[in-house]
Amino acid sequence: MELFEQLKNKISGQNKTIVFPEGEDVRIQGAAVRLAADGLLKPILLGDGKAIAATATANSFDLSGVEVIDPANYDESALAQLNVALVERRKGKTDADTAAKWLKDVNYFGTMLVYTGKADGMVSGATHPTGDTVRPALQIIKTAPGSSRISGAFIMQKGDERYVFSDAAINIDIDAPTMAEIAVQSAKTAKVFEIDPRVAMLSFSTKGSAKSPLVDKVAEATKLAKELAPEFADVIDGELQFDAAFVPTVGAAKAPDSKVAGHANTFIFPSLEAGNIGYKIAQRLGGYEAIGPILQGLAKPVSDLSRGANEEDVYKVAIITAAQALA
């Protein structure tokens, strides 16, 4: 079954609520209307009420199945509760006046809806840079238990083939502990997308075929990842070259005792530059669809759109976010 049909089946009837801080944008509204009409999730649009209504009227959108919240005209009592919750969450780093200013920002307001359980996830970034989406998430939602950082994965899909490439979006300097965390996060992401994870820790060396501190880093990351997540210990291996990880005959020759070599479907790159270059090569030369970046490691799902996203992109990212909320 095609990936998004699988995800639709997974989230249908689960009544997950996704908040969209950029509710005045035509792409966001178009996707929200479709998501509501398809019965996949409950959308919340944030923004100026009059501007949202004007966009809907101009594009003949029926917002009857979509909740619209104007933060500037939000119930005073409910807003005060959000302010108190934000100050408490910041543990002395943010006072009530600063919290009030933050809550005028739609991304902070949306993040607080997720944090307080009024929404299950958030999708933003159609008109905001990545930092405006990620910063409130890190300050308020924070990382999941067992994670000290977030990372960005891409699902690479072509026909029946489906792989995870990570990190290809977030962490520039990846040391062994970071790579280990990314491996565990990516194994969990693979399961969300109906992939039975077999995780390859990538290098230019396979099982000591080359000597370098860079090789040592990947070998150490492999050891740490197994310790971090014993439930995945048998399906994480490295260091492996890509051909040893992907091609059964090469894997059998270079790493005959590995359960992952030759059969990997989740690839952990040793640096952001390698991951970013790798997924773009697979996308442009290999003809794979690159779905993402999917933010990993947050306690609750927040997704960052490209500012070049179209309505279909928004629709799909919202489905992914709702599926993450079920994990």
200-233 confidence digits (pLDDT tens) = 999 999 999 999 999 999 999 999 999 999 999 9
- 171, with CB counted inside 10 A (0-12, 13-18, 19+), is buried
| Residues 133, 309: Cα–Cα separation, whole Å | 15
Q: How many CB atoms lie within 10 A of CB 110?
A: 30
> What is the value of pTM for the model shown?
0.88
pLDDT tens sequence across 146-185:
899 999 999 999 988 999 999 998 999 899 999 999 999 9
Cα–Cα distance, 84 to 67 (Å, whole number):
24
Taken as a whole, the chain contains a residue count of 327
Angle at 319 between CA 123 and CA 8, to 5 degrees: 170
Chain segment 4-35, per-residue pLDDT in tens = 899 999 999 999 999 999 999 999 999 999 99
| pLDDT for the residue numbered 1 | 56
